[in-house]
Amino acid sequence: MNPSTEQPNHALVIGASSGIADALIAQLLQDETLARVTAISRSSCPEKWRDHPRICWLFSNYDETTINAIGLQLLEQQKTDPLHIDQVFICNGILHGENFKPEKRVEELDAEIMQQVFHANTIIPALWLKVLRPLLAGKRSCHMVFLSARVGSINDNRIGGWYSYRASKSALNMLLKTAAIEYARRAKNVKLIAFHPGTTDTALSKPFQKNVAEGKLFKPDFVARQLLSLVAKTPVDGTLSYLDWDHQTIDW
């Protein structure tokens, strides 16, 4: 958010049941200038927020039909609603599941698992890029943040492994880079950010936390604060930024 512009009054948080998204919502709701937080999830609204006057919880199972439907719903709502979407956080993503974990060797690659990982980490965010563009093409600025990962960096890959996760995040970064070029023409007041949160104490990282260096396992509320401060200081410049939790640029 550019501090010289009006305060944001509507934020979208997609993938709202993740640990980082939950922390983001909590901190966004502390901002009294924010009139509404629209949260999108395949899970039901947590009881702590069911009666909150400034939160709207929408269901999506993240197939293309429901994503398109929500996009149309928000577009129709914007025609009569004075609120403007100033911040979008897309938090969908998976690293492991009940029947799989990140591959250590090429022999472990499995087409079905790869499709599942790419769907969550690459395809779902791409579909939101598509449906939200008409909503964000106005004159006011908007920051659109996607949870990426440092392991998606090609130049930073020095130890290998985690084939599907790495590749899906690299593909996400390329989609965002390509979209930033188009958005600069068709939604020029939108800033795209690929954000690496660091290793965060959530369900996604649980199986791998024992190997994390001291002081490098972050609480979700810390990551949320770092992300919101990053958004606040990052100007809209028609490009994609690939940044980490410490606001440092990551090599592609």
Amino acid at 39: A
pLDDT for position 65: 97
Neighbour tally for 128: CB within 10 Å: 23
Domains of the chain by range and CATH? Answer: 10-244 (3.40.50.720)
pLDDT score, position 18: 95
pLDDT at 4: 41
Q: What is the pLDDT along the chain (252 residues), one digit of tens a residue?
A: 444 445 458 999 999 999 999 999 999 999 988 999 999 999 999 999 999 999 999 999 999 999 999 999 999 998 888 788 999 999 999 999 989 999 999 999 999 999 999 999 999 999 999 999 999 998 999 999 999 999 999 999 999 999 999 999 999 999 999 999 999 999 999 999 999 999 999 988 988 888 888 888 999 999 999 999 999 999 999 999 999 999 999 999
Task: Report which residue type is found at 49.
Answer: W
Overall residue count recorded for the chain in this entry:
252
Distance, CA of 169 to CA of 166 (rounded, Å): 5
Q: Which two three-digit tokens encode residue 108?
A: 């472990």
Q: How far lies 45's CA from each of 11, 22, 81, 121, 188, in Å?
A: 16, 11, 23, 22, 33
Query: What is the spatial distance between Cα 170 and Cα 148, in angstroms, rounded to a whole number?
Result: 8
- Complete DSSP assignment for 159-226: S---HHHHHHHHHHHHHHHHHHHHHHHHSTTEEEEEEE--SBSSTTTGGGGGGSPTT-SB-HHHHHHH
E strand or H helix that includes residue 79:
helix 64-80
Query: Could you write out the three-class secondary structure of 88-112?
Result: EEECCCCCCECCECCCCCHHHCCHH
pLDDT of residue 6: 56
Distances from the Cα of 88 to the Cα of 23, 107, 131, angstroms = 14, 38, 13
Residues 116/151, Cβ–Cβ less than 8 Å? no
- C-alpha distances in Å from residue 201, one per residue of 18, 92, 112, 207, 229: 11, 16, 28, 10, 20
Q: How many angstroms separate the most distant Cα atoms in the chain?
A: 54
User: In the beta sheet, which residues pair with residue 55?
Assistant: 37
Q: Report pLDDT for 7.
A: 45
d(CA 249, CA 220): 21
